[in-house]
Amino acid sequence: MKKIINMLLMLTKDELLKKYSAPVPRYTSYPTSPHFKSDVTSEVYEEWIATIPSDEGLSLYFHIPFCDTLCWFCGCHTKITRRYEPVQKYLKYLFREIELVAQKFKESHGNKKHPVKHIHWGGGSPTILEPSDIIKLANHIFENFAVLPDAEFAVEIDPRGMTIEAVRALADAGVTRASLGIQDMTEKVQKAINRIQPYDETKAVVELLRSEGITDINFDLIYGLPHQDLDCIRANVDAVKALKPTRLALFGYAHVPWMKTHMKMIPEEALPSSEERMKQQQLATELLCEAGYRAIGLDHFALPDDPLSLAVEENRLTRNFQGYTDDEAETLIGMGVSSIGVSDAGYIQNFPDMRSYVRAIDANKLPVAKGVATTSNDRMRRTAIQHVMCRYEVKLDDIAHQYGAADNLAQTIGPRLAEFEADGLISREGKTIKVTEEGKPFVRAVAALFDEYLETGKGKHSQAV
Ligand SMILES: C[S@@+](CC[C@H](N)C(=O)[O-])C[C@H]1O[C@@H](n2cnc3c(N)ncnc32)[C@H](O)[C@@H]1O
Ligand code: SF4
């Protein structure tokens, strides 16, 4: 009887969408960036670096904040430049930052280069670099850190205008994974986002990368773009099937014109509704799974033999600023303007504006703008949030075992848990909380249950679905 009453009380899909699509963070960090404060300075960062064990393999992120044209949907930290001079000037400072960071590691570790097991160049568009600078930047990293022979070296690539020389330089530099910005393959959407990228151009770049030995290929696709419909989604999946990347991200378009004013170029009436977004996401998931991809977390897909799929099988999947990853490094060091890093001690963000970044490096200081020291309670909540986002389940007993007591965790989530359960988004078995199939599209809302700072955050986030 109780079951029948519950079923009658169940919300429809549309009602669930209305109730749970309120803006929440994407949880690429916890605490999330609106909670970073300027009392975490370069001196604090130096102390944190000194506590990192000398044999702990690092993950290094390098931000290249330049592009040659502006995509109107872009939420990344980038600046448009038609000239190469600002890029060259920036590289000089980035090289100096690499030396400063490497020196801090050496000072605390008997002058030895620190081991590195993962490198990522992101942007903006790292492929704005001239081929000779691609080689120089890679060499500089290899000269200052002990990059392990099996390290992954991933680079974000804008396929538009990529030359054979640039692809060869990436291969010579030791790049192992190329992540290509695709977004949408159809002309009407490309026009609406100011990004014309013919299929043949993308195909040629994929073939070039493969012929130069870079065979781990990711695609970035987006749903929820202006004028996008289910036919566009089908066309995008057809292109994926033809080009066979090993991994892909399917992001929901985050429309935040109050933060990125160029997004005002996108007419809001051309944006799909929440219901349409959900249908697009579901159709893409269905078609990609039919094509042999495995759905991973909120927005990733991978072929069964891609390391991301293996990480899921072995419960090693985690989340960092690039989204879902199999990168298990405890410490991520961000270099370049606006980059974010994390270690056991907390999060660090570099100055987002070029002027402050340059001024700090001219003064031989690490260009830290802000950060947050994490407490044991933060780390416990971060683990719970990561498990929700990566495994769709949290074992409260395991969390309690790892961090001492999870009582305060249970207390914060307690009041809303019953509501989520009644709405069919989660189920409970003893002290294990599972996200149901119906709950998966709302996984960010479930993760938010564990977020102790959410109410006080001043950051405005994108919609949850
Ligand atoms: C730094 S870009 C990738 C490399 C290169 N700049 C390019 O666009 O080809 C990172 C990715 O973030 C995603 N992205 C950027 N803005 C977004 C937004 N507003 N909403 C969702 N995804 C976004 C895009 O899929 C993009 O490929
Ligand atoms: S989407 Fe990529 S290429 Fe386009 S403006 Fe943003 S960072 Fe640059």
**Has residue 461 got a pLDDT over 80?**
no
Residue 73 alpha carbon to ligand 2 centre in Å: 8
In this predicted model, what pLDDT tens digit does every residue of 212-233 receive, in sequence order? 999 999 999 999 999 999 999 9
Question: Whole-angstrom Cα distance, residue 276 to residue 280?
Answer: 6
Q: Determine the atom of ligand 1 nearest the C-alpha atom of 221.
A: 25
Q: What is the mean pLDDT of the chain?
A: 92
pLDDT digits (tens, 9 = 90+) for 120-167: 999 999 999 999 999 999 999 999 999 999 999 999 999 999 999 999
pLDDT in tens, 185-200: 999 999 999 999 999 9
Q: Are residues 61 and 13 in the same domain?
A: no
SS3 content of the chain, % helix, strand, coil (to 5): 45, 20, 35
Q: Is residue 464 part of a domain?
A: no
**Would the CB of 219 count as within 6 Å of ligand 1?**
no
Question: Which of 285, 306, 335 finishes a domain?
Answer: 335
244 & 271 share domain: yes
Task: Give the pLDDT band (50/70/90) at residue 458.
Answer: very low
Q: How far is CA 437 from the centre of its chain?
A: 23
Query: Where residue 396 falls among pLDDT bands split at 50, 70, 90?
Result: confident
CA dist., res. 374 & res. 341, Å (int): 13
Ligand 1 close to Cβ of residue 321 (< 6 A): no
**Mean pLDDT in residue range 272-293:** 96
Please indicate, yes or no, whether residues 95 and 138 belong to a single structural domain of this protein.
yes
pLDDT band at 406 (very low <50, low <70, confident <90, very high): low
User: Does residue 31 have a cis bond before it (omega within 30 degrees)?
Assistant: yes
The CB of 374 under 6 Å from ligand 1? The reply is no
Tell me, in angstroms, the distance from the centre of ligand 1 to residue 452's CA.
Answer: 29
Q: Take atom 6 of ligand 2 and give the residue whose Cα is closest.
A: 74
Q: Is the CB of 78 inside a 6 Å radius of any atom of ligand 2?
A: yes
* Nearest ligand to the C-alpha atom of residue 263: 1
Tens-place pLDDT, residues 66-125? 999 999 999 999 999 999 999 999 999 999 999 999 999 999 888 899 999 999 999 999
| Overall domain count for the chain | 2
Amino acid at residue number 334: G
Long-range contacts: 203-207, Cβ < 8 Å, 24+?
A: 203/242, 203/243, 205/157, 205/159, 205/162, 205/167, 205/180, 206/159, 206/180, 206/243, 206/245
At 431 the pLDDT is 84
**pLDDT band at residue 400 under the 50/70/90 scheme:** confident
Same domain (yes/no): 450, 318? no
> What CA dihedral angle connects 169, 172, 173 and 176, to 10 degrees?
100
Residues 93, 200: one domain?
yes
Q: Give the nearest ligand 2 atom to 69 CA.
A: 5
What DSSP designation does 37 have? B
What is the structure's pLDDT at 17? 80
Cα-to-centroid distance, 191 and ligand 2 (Å): 15
Q: Which of 335, 368, 384 is where one domain is finished?
A: 335
b or e along 164-182 (b: 16 or more beta carbons within 10 Å of the residue's beta carbon)? eebbbbbbebbbbbbbbbb
Residue 91, in any domain of the structure: yes
Q: Are residues 307 and 437 in the same domain?
A: no
CATH number at residue 53: 3.80.30.20
Does the residue 354 lie in any domain? Answer: no
Residues 86 and 162 in one domain: yes
Does some domain include residue 52? Answer: yes
Tens of pLDDT along 310-334?
999 999 999 988 889 999 899 999 9
**Has residue 362 been placed in a domain?**
no
Q: Is the pLDDT of residue 408 over 80?
A: no
How far apart (Å, rounded) are the C-alpha atoms in residues 76 and 440? 26
Query: Same structural domain for residues 176 and 321?
Result: yes
In a domain, 427, yes or no: yes
Quick one: 274 and 382 in the same domain? no
Atom 2 of ligand 2, residue of closest alpha carbon: 124
438 and 296 housed in the same domain: no
d(CA 337, CA 71): 20
* Distance (Å) from CA 41 to ligand 1 centroid: 29
The number of helices, as runs of H, and strands, as runs of E, in the chain is 16, 19
Q: Are 81 and 68 in contact (CB under 8 A)?
A: yes
Of the bound ligands, which one is closest to the alpha carbon of residue 72?
A: 2
Share of the chain above pLDDT 90, in %: 80
pLDDT band of residue 205 (cuts 50, 70, 90) is very high
More reliable by pLDDT, 263 or 298: 263
Q: Do the domain assignments include residue 411?
A: yes
Q: Is any ligand 1 atom within 6 A of the Cβ of residue 216?
A: no
**End residue of a domain, out of 318, 335, 352:** 335
Q: Which among 10, 16, 6 has a CA at the least distance from the CA of 278?
A: 16
In a domain, 226, yes or no: yes
Chain-centre distance for alpha carbon 438: 24
Nearest residue (CA) to ligand 2, atom 4: 71
Q: How far apart are the C-alpha atoms of 162 and 125, rounded to whole Å? A: 11
The per-residue pLDDT for range 39-64, each reduced to its tens digit, is 999 999 999 999 999 999 999 999 99
Cis peptide before 124 (omega within 30 of 0): yes
CATH code at position 421: 1.10.10.920
Q: Is residue 65's pLDDT more than 50? A: yes
Full residue range of the structural domain in which residue 199 is found: 33-335
Are residues 133 and 152 both part of a single domain? yes
Residues 216, 168 within the same domain:
yes
